[in-house]
């Protein structure tokens, strides 16, 4: 009986919702495609924020939120340096986004630190080899 009742009623689709969903998915795909093609070349900074937000807010249009965040903090650095409390003051920010942005910031910091450490080690090795060569020449 449940099956009869379920299948006898026509499904009602909210076509406006479906069109927005398709457009949202297309917009995100276009942003990702632009990034994959040439990195951040040609992006406005708010679009970079928007791309970051798509990682932590999966099913919502984040363009206006990205613009609000960018306008509020003035730069990507300002946004990523903001505390979780400061981020939550911006309308539309939930509980996950401040944590996700902190993860992004900390990952970038770790990457830069490891890169700098690697360069220091490589420079020390290079200097050690040069010194070794000088000592071998002098002997």
pLDDT in tens, 30-73: 999 999 999 999 999 999 999 999 999 988 899 999 999 999 99
Q: Where are the domains of the chain?
A: 2-138
2-138: CATH class? mainly alpha
What is the value of pTM for the model shown? 0.67
- Comparison of pLDDT for 2 and 93, the residue scoring more: 93
pLDDT of 124: 81
User: What is the 3-state secondary structure of 40-93?
Assistant: CCCCCHHHHHHHHHHHHCCCCCCHHHHHHHHHHHCCHHHHHHCCHHHHHCCCCC
pLDDT of 126: 82
Q: Please give the Cα distance from 104 to 108 (Å, whole number).
A: 6
């Amino acid at each position: 009986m449940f099956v009869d009742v379920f299948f006898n009623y026509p499904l009602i689709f909210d076509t406006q919702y479906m069109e927005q969903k398709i457009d949202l998915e297309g917009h995100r795909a276009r942003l990702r495609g632009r990034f994959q093609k040439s990195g951040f070349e040609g992006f406005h900074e708010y679009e970079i924020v928007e791309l970051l937000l798509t990682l932590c807010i999966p099913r919502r249009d984040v363009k206006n939120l990205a613009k609000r965040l960018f306008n509020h903090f003035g730069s990507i650095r300002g946004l990523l340096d903001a505390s979780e409390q400061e981020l939550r003051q911006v309308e539309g920010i939930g509980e996950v986004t401040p944590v996700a942005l902190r993860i992004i910031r900390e990952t970038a910091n770790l990457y830069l630190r490891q890169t700098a450490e690697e360069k220091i080690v490589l420079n020390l090795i290079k200097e050690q080899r040069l010194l070794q060569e000088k000592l071998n020449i002098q002997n």
